[in-house]
Amino acid sequence: MQTKEMKDGHRLQLTVLAGKNLMAADRGGTSDPYVQLRLGDSKEALKTKVIKKNLNPEWNETFDLKLERLHESLTIECFDYDLMGSDDSLGKSTIRLKGCEMSFELFVHYGIRTF
């Protein structure tokens, strides 16, 4: 995770690497996980691709987020994609971006708490 000061605010570059030993939410003893990223209480969210039938998925997807303010929080939530019905949450974690100063690089391994 990396934040950079831009002329028009801040930019957060974040790479979602992988999940390990995720919870099995489907009947077959597996899940179809994807990760959703949401800034503050924004209604818009970014999503990784869905990796089907895998409890140790590797997404390795990088996102560029524009930050209006640095004191927002980032919620990272992992879901099991379901063709029918609503997707099940496999766990989530919230990162406070306050303290990630400009031009500061931070490499974090975030554990996501499962329910």
CB 81 within 8 A of CB 32: yes
107 burial (CB, 10 Å; 0-12 / 13-18 / 19+) is exposed
Least distance in angstroms from the C-beta of 7 to Ca ion: 43
CB 57 within 8 A of CB 75: no
Least distance in angstroms from the C-beta of 27 to Ca ion: 9
Determine the 3-state secondary structure of 10 from DSSP. Answer: strand
Number of chain positions touching Ca ion (CB under 5 A): 4
Residue position matching structure tokens 């996102």: 63
CB 96 within 8 A of CB 106: no
Residue 32 sits in the site that holds Ca ion (CB under 5 A): yes
Nearer to Ca ion, 39 or 51 (CB): 51
In this structure, the number of other CB atoms found within 10 A of the CB of residue 102 comes to: 11
Site for Ca ion in 52-111 (CB under 5 A): 80, 82
Residue 33 sits in the site that holds Ca ion (CB under 5 A): no
- What residue number has its CB nearest to Ca ion? 32
Least distance in angstroms from the C-beta of 91 to Ca ion: 15
Binding track over 1-30 against Ca ion, x by CB under 5 A: -------------------------x----
In this structure, the number of other CB atoms found within 10 A of the CB of residue 51 comes to: 19
By CB under 5 A, name the binding residues for Ca ion. Answer: 26, 32, 80, 82
